Structures are given as C-alpha cells and as structure tokens.
Amino acid sequence: MSIETIKIVPFDDQRPGTSGLRKSVKRFQIPHYLAAFVQSIFNTVEDLQGATLVLGGDGRFYNREAIKIILRIAAANGVKKILLGQSGILSTPAVSHLIRKYYALGGIILSASHNPGGPEGDFGIKFNTTQGEPAPEHITERIYQNSRIIDHYKIAPLQAIAMDKIGEFSIENMQVEIIDSVSDYADYMETLFDFTAIRNLLTQGDFKMLFDAMNAVTGPYAKEIFQNRLGAARNALMRQHPLANFGGCHPDPNQAHAKELMQRLYSPTGPNFGAASDGDGDRNMILGNYFFVTPSDSLAIMAANASLILGYREGIKGVARSMPTSQAVDRVAEQLNIACYETPTGWKFFANLLDDQRISLCGEESFGTGSDHIREKDGLWAILFWLNLLAIKQDSVENIVRAHWAKYGRNYYTRHDYENINSDAANELMQALREKTHYLVGHRLSGQKIVTADDFSYRDSVDDSYTEQQGIRIIFENDSRIIFRLSGTGTKGATLRVYIERYEANVQKHDLDTQKTLKTLIAIANVIAKISEYTGKKRADVIT
C-alpha cells in the first residue's frame, strides 16, 4: 500500500509554549490539526530517516487517537522504530529516561500536564530531543515557522493498531515495540535511592504515607514502586487509576486541587507523609502531618541534604531555579560554595546547564523539581528523595523543614493566580508595568524602598542564546520581591501569576501565617499593577 500525501491549509495558532503545543481537545480534533503539527516536527527534526523515537502520553482523552495518527505519520516519514508505552501510557519523566537509555533520536509526549482532561478539557504535544530534554527555543521556533507554511503531510494507510499488549508490530517499514510503561523507570529509581532504607521506614514501624495520583499517569508507577517494591500499605495510594478525564478533577498537585489529600494530612490521625503528582507525572507536592512544604523550600532542602542520598553522595555541582521561584536555594548554594543559576520559567532552560554539567539539582515554584538523572522535572523522583531523607533522619517532615529554616532562614512565599482573564487586558497590564519600571527604582511603597524594577531577561551562559520579557521584577532593599508573569500553560484566556516573597532570618518569626506576613506586599502588588482594574477580579482564583 502506498503512502498518502494530504494537502492542507496551514493553521495560524501552532506556536509551542513553555511546554509544547497546548490547546483544547476540540481544537486538536479539527481535521488535520494534529497531523499538521506532527509533520512540522518531522520536517524540522534532523536525522529522522532510520531513527528511533519514544512515544507516549498521560492517558488523557484523545491520547489513543493521537497516537494512531502519529504512528502513521512517523511511518510515512521514514522513522525506523517507535518505542511506545503500553496502552499509550508513559509519564513525562519516563519518556526522558527512555530516550537517554535507548539512545533514541527523541520523543513525542502527549500531555497537557496539570490542565484538566476529558472531551471538554485540554490536550498537548511536545517534542523532546536526544538528551531527553524539551526542545529548546530554536527548535520550537523552527517547528512553528514550518507550521505557518506547511501545505501537506504524509501518512501511512489506516490499519488496526493494538497498543495494549507488550510486543511488536509493523506499519509499512517501521517497527513499533510496545514496552512496559513502568519497569525501566522503576529500575532506574532503585539506582538513585536506598530502597532498603525506605522499605524499612514503610514496613517496620508506625510510619504511614499517602500518595494521590489524581487519576493521572503516575498511578501505575506508584503501585509498582511504593507498593510492590517498597511495601507500602494497600491504602497508601488514592486515585491511582489513570482516567481519560482524571475523574473530573484538575490534576494539579497543590492545596486547591488535592483537597481530600490535604484533609487527610491535616488530621490528628493523618499519615506522617503525603504527596501528590500531576497529570503527566513531572510535578510533586510534599506534605507532612499538618504541614505543607513549599516547592521552593523543597528544592532548598534537597540541595542542603543531597550528599545523604545514594545517587548524590559525591556532592552536587550547582543548582538552578526559575526566576519566580523563591531565593531559598540561593542561600544553600552560598553556604555550599556552589553555583546558583536563575533562569526563565520552563524546564528547557535548565537543560543546557544540566548537559554542560554545571548543575545537579534544579526546580521551579510550580511544584517541579529535578536533577541530572533525566532532563525533565520528576514528581516521583522528588517524592522518593523525601522518603529517603525521612528514612535517614528518622524525623518528621515538619522538623526537617524547621531545622532548615533555623539554619538558613525562612523565605515566606506565595503565588496568586488570576485565571481565564481577557488576553488583551492581561497584555495591557504587563505593558503598563513595563512602562513603569524605569521610574519605580528609588521609590518607597509602604515604607519599603524599590532597588530593582525590570523585565527579566536571560543570557544563556552555555550557548549564548538570549531570552527576554520573562516577567516583571520589583525587588526591595530587604530582598523582598514581587514578580508579575503571564503563564504559558493555559489554553483559555490568560493567567496572571503574581509571586510574592519576603526573607525572615529570625527563628522566632518562622511560625507566622504566610498570607498575613505578606499582606503589605500583596497590597503593593495590586496597587502597582492595578490588578482589579485590568482583570475585573477582587482576589486571586488560586492562592498557593
């Protein structure tokens, strides 16, 4: 049977964001929409002929249909082999690991991460390169430019595609190998962490854990790792079965969207340790009994204790954080005398630093943490790190965090999200802020002097690439910060994120309410940006 060439008119909205192309499911279901973007990837990626690719997704609605289309287009474009997760399931960290382990040219990940799923939800697709990392900007820009002029795609004939049973089949001259979605990743985790110590923690005392998979991709991984390999109790997992609509929930691991987990941890009889991961498995939330660990603090504590962990006993080379993430890890890096990098939001900005061996750990305030073991943030890796640390220290989550604050000080930190706002209004708000920055420096607001006001830009120290307009920074003389940024992960309207931070060295002031402590800065943020005026909202939709 012959390869078909399908004539199309290009779409005008296929510019990838910080994590690939994300749109509503209905947009992706428009005839030729997904095919056009996939062909643009294949038109852009070099050395595609005869290559091996990894393919999988988080199991959300349209995942299976998309995989069938991608397989046919891959076969038509000369791909030699596809490693496909069983039933089309692969977490984002697992894809990164598989690319690296099997020396694949790259991988295609189908996910909209923490965005809602189902027929009325969102879908997404992104390409990861040969190091397992999200495609850098120069590649995503080439994909986008191709998507603007593409006039056809190539596709192999329709055939029955069975993806639920491990094995092999062919499409034209391309081999498709259905692989176990979990085993390679789980085996790798055993090389990084002391599974014997964690197993003893979970089985030889009264320690209890609870993991919320949020009906997303990490359910099968959690069952294999936490229960089968580490001996966690049967009731240690909740919402562990991946569902196409995530059970109607928003698979974002934070206080607002993991309410049942929060309720169970904030209980006198609650578990000692709680955690959650998101839609595609790359984010994490860490909880103790009656205690929430901010992602920024989590990164800093990992950096401070990395030498205790099996895979990092030789020490860490450096750390990196996204610009909006709190400066807690900076203080650890200073004491460890290692480099600390501040990058724009988006994991691809960490990839160059990881590849160049300048850093070992990195993280973002949006519940993402990772290391040089792969080139994506990794939710279960972070949770295993914490379990290993608890097993070593034989202490509670709260005590570990408080001891860290006592040594390094506490960075009070919050993020206020204003969701689904008018895109034009959001852009006007940001432009107005940019125009203010040049005269804000030196001004005092509520008694606090502004020493820096700018639109963050980044010069990559590895490849000298330059990225600008990454968020408005207002920095005060006491190192307090207010950051304004538009999110690149939503699909409806715009999301304004406001990040607010204040450092406190005094141990006697480490037990204050975060929102009350930051009340003055929150008020300053609203005044400077005129948030209510531009958004029509009196308060944030989500506060974390």
Q: What is residue 306's DSSP assignment?
A: G
- 113 annotated active-site: yes
Distance CA(296)–CA(294), nearest Å, equals 5
Hunting for tokens 């991608």 — which residue is that? 70
Distance CA(220)–CA(204), nearest Å, equals 24
CA dihedral 335, 338, 340, 346 (to 10 degrees): -120
Is residue 93 within 8 Å of residue 281, measured between CB atoms?
yes
> Helix, strand, coil proportions of the chain in percent (round to 5)?
35, 25, 40
Distance CA(405)–CA(136), nearest Å, equals 36
If you write DSSP's letter for every residue of 399-440 in order, what string do you get? HHHHHHHHHH-EEEEEEEEEEEE-HHHHHHHHHHHHHHHHHH
Residues 6+ apart with CB under 8 A from 153: 5, 6, 8, 32, 35, 36, 38, 39, 73
Distance CA(241)–CA(218), nearest Å, equals 9
Distance CA(71)–CA(172), nearest Å, equals 10
Is residue 364 within 8 Å of residue 377, measured between CB atoms?
yes
Say which of 87, 91, 113, 371 is annotated catalytic: 113
Hunting for tokens 């660990």 — which residue is that? 293
Hunting for tokens 């192999």 — which residue is that? 156
Q: Which structure tokens are listed for 62?
A: 């349209």
Distance CA(171)–CA(160), nearest Å, equals 10
Q: How many CB atoms are located within 10 Å of the residue 128 CB?
A: 29
Sort strands 481-486 and 494-504 into parallel, antiparallel or unpaired.
Answer: antiparallel
Largest Cα–Cα separation, the chain: 75
Q: How many CB atoms are located within 10 Å of the residue 5 CB?
A: 10
Cα 519 from chain centre: 28
User: Kindly report the CA angle at 340 between 336 and 507, in degrees rounded to 5?
Assistant: 60
Q: Could you list the active site residues?
A: 113
